[in-house]
Structure 1
């Protein structure tokens, strides 16, 4: 008896989609919430088709959830000596700069490195 196996399709390398996924986080500055929704949709639909999409997508979602958590926690901290205002400014700067840096890394084929990230999805 011969066992017939289904051929596994090879994942494609698509650095442009990885770069677009990283840069789509900047939609937060335009829509207010698109920076989490759009990368989540891209990651969930393409993680099995594109090389390294699962790694990049998890990093992006963890980063976005961490930034949302830091922003929410800094709101009550505004009443504690105004430290929350500094935290909100820091979150805003980090949320703008780090996706651009990681988009450049993705275009060069490097792994993403998001600091200040809580690993919600591993």
Structure 2
């Protein structure tokens, strides 16, 4: 293997994990200068150094040497459409994509981007649902007069609109992902960055 291939893999894996060079140096017990030289392709780690770097990254040395991100658009589409589980129970729309994202975070190309988008949107959507329930609860319990009349028709319309918006955005983004484009979720709060 060329020095540059390992250097590029090390840089990409370190960045995907969100580690700085300093943090990796601390975690692996190797000097910062050595990490910098390896990433510049000036030297190639062998034996103990390679094992310590791999341990610092939380992978095996074999995975570091042979590490590749699999391009799997089918998995990305499945990850995105798994959010439809909110139809059974709203929090499932967060949990199932979250588990799928975390399980393949370091193995599939663009899974980090898609996972964050889907989970952020689903958390935001659940928050809207929760806030509306809270508003209804406060209105009923405390009999607070609100300018918006909360009659059954308004409540039903609000929920129907939220559910249609969620399903529409999931389908739309599944099509975008299948065409190798990035997902675009509107009205999402970036809880996960």
* TM interval, short-chain normalised: 0.7 to 0.9
Match for residue 45 of structure 2?
3
Matches within 5 A, 1:1-122: 3-4=45-46, 5=50, 6-78=64-136, 79=139, 80=146, 81-82=149-150, 85=155, 86-122=157-193
In structure 2, relative to structure 1, the CA distance for the partners of 1:3 and 1:27 (3 Å cut) is: closer
Select between 55-64 and 4-13 the one with higher mean Cα deviation. Answer: 4-13
C-alpha distance in structure 2 between counterparts of 1:8 and 1:71, whole Å: 45
C-alpha distance in structure 1 between counterparts of 2:101 and 2:79, whole Å: 8
Question: Which has the higher Rg, Structure 1 or Structure 2?
Answer: 2
Give the TM-score normalised by the residue count of structure 1.
0.88
Which is bigger in relative contact order (C-alpha 8 A, separation at least 6)?
1
Runs of 4+ displaced beyond 4 Å? none
- Cα pair 1:22 1:103 within 8 Å, conserved: yes
Select between 112-121 and 29-38 the one with higher mean Cα deviation. Answer: 29-38
**Residue 82 of structure 1, CA deviation:** 2.0
**Residue 37 of structure 1, CA deviation:** 1.5
CA RMSD, Structure 1 to Structure 2 (Å) = 2.1
Kindly tell me the number of residue pairs found equivalent between the two proteins: 122
**Residue 96 of structure 1, CA deviation:** 1.1
Give the TM-score normalised by the residue count of structure 2.
0.57
